[in-house]
Structure 1
């Protein structure tokens, strides 16, 4: 169908605006979810995250099953990938997320609320990600990937199930059903979550935003003469691209990811101002700033190695049912857990 780059950018901006508003009002964040669950005994936020994955997977697989979006064109369903690098990147990202007290998307949301600590996180994350994508760290990353990557015919849960006989459509439905039902049961088994309509709504909306991103880039952007990358919500590379675009806009082109990043910040800012939540915050000490910046650097490096962040892999990647995404998410969860529990636990700073 006919596509318009301006329409893709506008849609990315709208998706970002909604995500920014929902993220601010609900506190949607994997790190906060894990901290509440593991350290504070509050499991509501992690159930919100689980519900978002379930909704994103259901809607994304519906689009793919009906031929509206070819998820195979996304970066998550490649035939060649390195499981060790994906897992290591997830570990670095997860631990960095605890050091910085939130992921890249959460930093954008908090920045819109006036959190100046998040400004440091966003800038350092962007620089570290660009260094890993194209700069000083890139040769080491590429060498590591080449030394450990494998080429496989089975790169997703549906293709794995199809090896045992079911047709492609049935395998897709079965794999999606197992993931979605498990996550929904986990979410709604928690009484406090069932009594939290705001958290339920947040999970549903964020999940639909992921599917919306696939629809925008995979259906509206399906133009053989002027194609756009098939992608959805993810933040490490787009934050890096946004910083580069801010500095070199005359030599670059706006894309879905940059528009989404701008939308998240704007959505959070408008919501914070409208609800009286905007207030400036800073670091409590130089050590606090140093640790936060170190965490941001780990997130930038790890997010590139893992092909995504807690949103880019945890929601968008998993919605494709890619095996590599589950490997990356396992690393993110383990890295986050190490930062919250055990001998590597990160001690919280008092904030200003």
Structure 2
């Protein structure tokens, strides 16, 4: 129920605000408009502060999350981030954005969601899983320091003080960056969206780490993330009698429902489709890269870029670096994804 409610809220906020890492970076790098990227920065700052407060208060054990495991493969996570970032540009949005747009009637996003889910499941448990596992075993390491607070603790600081120092410094810098821009200060809708998404990330941790804590029936400690949940959601729709409904699947359903209800209430719902076969092929390719890359990186632009970073895990910084570099390659440079050009017959080519 918590996953469904958090998803409903995220779907509504995502539709009304246009919250999306790709849109943020494209607007900043191409048009010089940094309002959306500052919304993302505000959301991340709030998520870090709230998540670390929950952890410091003993309400959530972040050590049980996939982000703070004792071993990880930095090369595999970075490579997965690269694939995800470039695929996000090809598909013109990440998995969470595709769910939001699907609720608004965008049928292109339906193709993206299905292909992303299949590619992610193939990489996690299917045909691509054996080479992924082999690469993981060859390249994974078990560093003594797996988080930024642990790094500060190595200099003699107490665990609690190191946690609060790291959280305060990073979240404070992000929030200052967000509000150091006069147009953003006047964008009340974007400010509200940043605050809401950051608090929703913390709410996910509270729901799974505290409300879902049960020694006899433990639930995965997680929050907003969309690669594995979309894959599980696609599988649940097909095989629900043999599967258990979990937080991620309920959240994915909530995001779609929240966007749909908001679109209908605000009269933003309209059917949209592909302009050409090339447009469809590009979206399919991007979705496949996002599904496979996100599975390798243990998350997406939200799952690692917001939720993962809120744990201050060093592995999340590696994955996000790959996502940003892959996105940059898709938006500019020799590998830049060229925009679809309308032809004389009105079709894109």
TM-score bucket of the superposed structures, by smaller chain? over 0.9
User: How much has 1:349 moved relative to structure 2?
Assistant: 2.3
Query: Within 5 A, what are the aligned runs for 1:87-102?
Result: 87-102=78-93
1:196 aligns with 2:187: yes
1:31 aligns with 2:27: no
> In structure 1, which of residues 215, 224, 236 is the aligned counterpart of residue 227 of structure 2?
236
1:291 aligns with 2:264: no
User: After the TM superposition, which segments of 4 or more aligned residues of structure 1 sit over 6 Å from their partners?
Assistant: none
SS in 2 for 1:81: coil
1:79–1:155 Cα contact (<8 Å) kept: yes
> In structure 1, which of residues 109, 127, 130 is the aligned counterpart of residue 100 of structure 2?
109
Cα distance in 2, alignment partners of residues 253 and 38 from structure 1: 43
Would you say how many aligned residue pairs link Structure 1 and Structure 2?
343
1:54 aligns with 2:30: no
1:284–1:349 Cα contact (<8 Å) kept: no
Match in the other structure for 2:167: 176
Q: Deviations over 1:171-211 (max 9, x none)?
A: 00111111111111211111111110100000000000000
Q: Deviations over 1:90-129 (max 9, x none)?
A: 0000000000000000000000000000000000000000
Match in the other structure for 1:150: 141
TM-score after normalising by structure 1? 0.96
- Report the aligned-residue RMSD: 0.9
SS in 2 for 1:225: coil
Can you give the 5+ residue segments of structure 2 that lack an aligned partner in the other structure? none
Q: Deviations over 1:135-167 (max 9, x none)?
A: 000001001111110001210000000000100
1:18–1:267 Cα contact (<8 Å) kept: yes
SS in 2 for 1:150: coil
TM-score after normalising by structure 2? 0.97
Cα distance in 2, alignment partners of residues 92 and 178 from structure 1: 30
1:282 aligns with 2:273: yes
Can you give the 5+ residue segments of structure 1 that lack an aligned partner in the other structure? 1-9
1:307 aligns with 2:298: yes
SS in 2 for 1:80: coil
Cα distance in 2, alignment partners of residues 139 and 33 from structure 1: 35
SS in 1 for 2:63: helix
SS in 1 for 2:31: coil
